[in-house]
Amino acid sequence: MKKLYKTLVALSVAATALGAAAQNFPDKPVTIIVPFTAGGPTDRVARDLAEALRKPLGGATVLVDNAAGAGGSIGANKVAKANADGYTLLVHHIGMATMPTLVRNIPFKVETDFEYVGMINDVPMTVIGKPTLPANNMKELAAWVAQNKGKVNLGNAGVGSASHLCGMLFQQALGVEMTSVPYKGTAPAMTDLMGGQIDLMCDQTTNTTSQIEGKKVKAYAVSSPKRLTTPALKDLPTMQEAGYKGFNVSIFHGLYAPKGTPAPVLKKLNDALKVALKDPEFIKKQEGLGAVVVNDKRVEPAEHKKFVASEIAKWSPVIKAAGVYVD
């Protein structure tokens, strides 16, 4: 009896401490883990978001930490195993939906090891090439690729990354196999593309818009079904317009916390996310990069989770058919 009493007291003390911790959240810096390299598109979204979250989180410091590799699964695993107190968060992209099929022996479950805080944005992709490529439009690019069969290099952020998925669809569309060159993120791949060490890449507009604007790379098409309105991108045809029917890739980004994060902390995080997504400065920055900030029910945890589940169902057969995996 005494033992039971002691246990109950200990439990209630712990619960009170937890409640107080949740109430005071955040009273120390919050860290967002990005599962790709610094300076890349996911990193960019996370850093803009970190800034926009500061105010609605009561002026808290929001840091960004990069844990790149294995198609985004190394950083995701770090968050899945982190303390579930709201101080370690994950910003991930479509990889949340592709990792379950792609990564063999994945050390966590996307569906059950995370709390879904909400969706951030939708980002189209662009087909870009090294500055010395002789092709000036999609038709000429397709001809150049055909002429250089067996020699064309396509950069990406590793198996299962958004750039890899887009690259797979691109090769299927053109009917030519290319050599995939994996990096830990598309930031270092972009450096090599600009330097001419690789030939082509398909990457989020959040990484490519300023390079296209500065004519540091050649741009051929966008992956979205509609043309974009961003000034530097508005003249690019869609892949569908260029004759590749059904070509449509859009990359989402979302915010996640470890499973078991207390509900009041999650509510604070979701409330802060909603404020950040309405922040005119954040919207302006994202729109300037061709990204569309979420303005619908997918900002709600349950709706975002439903959306990710539908993306898992969409990509799983594509990945299985392509026979690709990460070990």
* Token pair 């060490």: residue: 197
By CB under 6 A, residue 254 contacts ligand ASP: no
Residue (157 or 181) nearer to ligand ASP, CB: 157
Residue (101 or 204) nearer to ligand ASP, CB: 204
**One residue of 56, 124, 185, 254 binding ligand ASP per CB under 6 A:** 185
Helix locations, 175-259, DSSP H: 186-194, 205-213
Per DSSP, what are the bridge partners of residue 32? 64, 89
Q: Least distance (Å) from ligand ASP to the CB of residue 97?
A: 12
By CB under 6 A, residue 186 contacts ligand ASP: yes
Closest CA to 235 of 219, 256, 252: 219
**One residue of 22, 26, 42, 67 binding ligand ASP per CB under 6 A:** 42
Q: Least distance (Å) from ligand ASP to the CB of residue 9?
A: 48
User: Residue 69 and residue 103: Cα distance in Å, rounded?
Assistant: 12
Other Cβ atoms within 10 Å of 125 Cβ, number: 30
Per DSSP, what are the bridge partners of residue 251? 123
By CB under 6 A, residue 161 contacts ligand ASP: yes
Residue (191 or 316) nearer to ligand ASP, CB: 191
Number of residues forming the site for ligand ASP (CB under 6 A)? 18
Region binding ligand ASP by CB under 6 A among candidate stretches 79-87, 201-209, 275-283, 301-309: 201-209
- Could you tell me whether strands 30-34 and 88-92 are parallel, antiparallel, or unpaired per DSSP bridges? parallel
167: number of CA atoms within 13 Å, CB side?
A: 28
Helix locations, the chain, DSSP H: 2-24, 41-54, 73-80, 95-102, 138-147, 162-174, 186-194, 205-213, 263-278, 280-288, 301-322
By CB under 6 A, residue 157 contacts ligand ASP: yes
**One residue of 66, 98, 163, 208 binding ligand ASP per CB under 6 A:** 163
DSSP collapsed to 3 states, 59-71: CCCEEEEECCCHH
Residue (27 or 65) nearer to ligand ASP, CB: 65
Residue (86 or 155) nearer to ligand ASP, CB: 155
Q: Least distance (Å) from ligand ASP to the CB of residue 121?
A: 13
Using CB under 6 A as the criterion, which residues of the chain lie in contact with ligand ASP when the complex forms?
36-37, 40-43, 93, 156-157, 161-163, 185-187, 203-204, 207
